[in-house]
């Protein structure tokens, strides 16, 4: 296990269960956990397929217990998994913590999802708090347009005094955010990067500036990058060195690691001049990486289709 720290941000290169054991109990304000989903994705050397669903559930129970132990009494956690595995986590967690919302992250896809069943177009998120009477929820920081009443300039006649509808509201539990695409600025080379907009909603709602936000399966470190931008302190844990390097760069913890400059690889559509200005490498490793990712995604999707499972 290796630890990198700068200012109020820490990256742990290592196993989530081992690393979580080193965190002080009752010290974390917010945990966002997006573990492997047990659906056969490829995360570098990491496995994303357990022998059985029960074995996956047992592994999840270990890190979920640790997350609960590390949360402050006022803390919150958001837990993701695949549609087919989240019921195991839900049934486990409801005995240990309060699940306040079962969120559906819904997205569209231009590709064909499935031809013989209804393709999966969402990912589930459990929003849990330790104490349902005492937790952070900054409703005013995450308001969204109320699309119905106010847009149509309706008057609510059910109120004692007829009133125009509010133009903003707290989002419900169906969240529409585009998935991270290759051409988006925030794109990093990782098969399951979560959108910054989604993380911004989570972090703004469930933490305050100066709070500690922890992500035990950081991947591209989007949670930590957004939390840092919003003035929170962060701890990100990740097992794969290639993803740790993304985190070290995104959080400005290191500019190089063992002599290797930590720079964002040029994407195929980006002009070379822009890359030179940023002193990024002009070879196109991103193209190779992208092909590898597409191949890995394709194989994983084919396996899912064969097994009849969806994410």
Ligand X SMILES: C[S@@+](CC[C@H](N)C(=O)[O-])C[C@H]1O[C@@H](n2cnc3c(N)ncnc32)[C@H](O)[C@@H]1O
Residue number, 149 or 191, with CB nearest to ligand X = 191
CA-nearest of 98, 103, 101 to 132 is 98
Kindly state the smallest distance separating residue 193's Cβ from ligand X, in Å: 4
Question: Does position 243 bind ligand X by CB under 6 A?
Answer: yes
Region binding ligand X by CB under 6 A among candidate stretches 28-36, 100-108, 119-127, 270-278 = 28-36
Residue 147: partners with Cβ closer than 8 Å, 6 or more residues away: none
> How many Å apart are CA 54 and CA 88, to the nearest integer?
8
DSSP 299: H
Binding-site member from 4, 8, 46, 296 for ligand X (CB under 6 A): 46
Residues within window 146-205 making contact with ligand X, judged by CB under 6 A: 190, 192-194
Kindly state the smallest distance separating residue 36's Cβ from ligand X, in Å: 5
DSSP 165: P
The length of the chain in residues reads 311
Residue number, 15 or 65, with CB nearest to ligand X = 15
Question: Does position 219 bind ligand X by CB under 6 A?
Answer: yes
Question: Does position 105 bind ligand X by CB under 6 A?
Answer: no
Binding-site member from 36, 40, 75, 124 for ligand X (CB under 6 A): 36
Binding-site member from 34, 123, 200, 301 for ligand X (CB under 6 A): 34
Bridge pairing between strands 168-169 and 155-156: unpaired
Which tokens belong to 199?
């993380």
Question: Does position 76 bind ligand X by CB under 6 A?
Answer: no
Question: Does position 237 bind ligand X by CB under 6 A?
Answer: yes
Binding-site member from 13, 130, 232, 239 for ligand X (CB under 6 A): 239
Q: Please measure the distance between the N-terminal and C-terminal CA atoms of the chain and give it in whole angstroms.
A: 31
Residue 177, SS3 per DSSP: coil
> How many Å apart are CA 55 and CA 44, to the nearest integer?
21
Kindly state the smallest distance separating residue 14's Cβ from ligand X, in Å: 7
Bridge pairing between strands 28-33 and 212-215: parallel
Q: Are 30 and 206 in contact (CB under 8 A)?
A: yes
Kindly state the smallest distance separating residue 262's Cβ from ligand X, in Å: 16
CA-nearest of 224, 310, 261 to 12 is 224
Residue 158: partners with Cβ closer than 8 Å, 6 or more residues away: none
Question: Does position 88 bind ligand X by CB under 6 A?
Answer: no
Binding mask of the shown chain, residues 2 to 21, with x at each position contacting ligand X by CB under 6 A:
-------------xx-----
Binding-site member from 38, 222, 234, 310 for ligand X (CB under 6 A): 222
Q: Which residues bind ligand X (CB under 6 A)?
A: 15-16, 34-36, 43-44, 46, 190, 192-194, 217, 219-220, 222, 237-240, 243
């Amino acid at each position: 296990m290796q630890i990198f720290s700068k200012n109020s941000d820490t990256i742990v290169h290592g196993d989530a269960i081992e690393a979580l054991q080193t965190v002080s109990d009752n010290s974390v304000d917010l945990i966002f956990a997006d573990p492997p989903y047990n659906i056969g994705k490829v995360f570098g050397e990491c496995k994303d397929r357990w022998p059985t669903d029960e074995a996956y559930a047992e592994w999840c129970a270990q890190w979920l217990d640790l997350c609960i132990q590390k949360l402050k009494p006022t803390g919150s956690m958001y837990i993701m998994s695949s549609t087919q595995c989240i019921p195991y986590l839900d049934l486990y967690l409801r005995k240990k913590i309060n699940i306040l919302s079962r969120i559906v992250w819904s997205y569209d896809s231009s590709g064909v999802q499935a031809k013989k069943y209804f393709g999966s177009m969402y990912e589930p998120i459990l929003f849990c708090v330790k104490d349902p009477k005492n937790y952070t929820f900054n409703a005013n920081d995450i308001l969204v347009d109320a699309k119905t009443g106010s847009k149509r300039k309706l008057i609510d006649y059910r109120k004692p005094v007829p009133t125009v509808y509010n133009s903003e509201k707290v989002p419900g539990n169906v969240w529409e955010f585009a998935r991270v695409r290759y051409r988006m600025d925030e794109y990093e080379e990782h098969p399951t990067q979560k959108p910054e907009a989604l993380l911004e909603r989570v972090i703004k709602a469930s933490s305050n500036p100066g709070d500690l936000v922890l992500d035990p399966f950081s991947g591209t470190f989007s949670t930590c990058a957004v939390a840092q931008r919003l003035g929170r302190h962060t701890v990100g844990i990740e097992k794969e060195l290639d993803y740790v390097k993304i985190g070290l760069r995104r959080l400005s913890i290191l500019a190089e690691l063992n002599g290797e400059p930590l720079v964002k690889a040029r994407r195929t559509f980006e002009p070379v001049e822009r890359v030179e200005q940023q002193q990024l490498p002009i070879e196109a490793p991103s193209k190779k990486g992208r092909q590898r990712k597409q191949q890995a995604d394709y194989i994983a999707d084919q396996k899912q289709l064969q097994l009849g499972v969806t994410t």
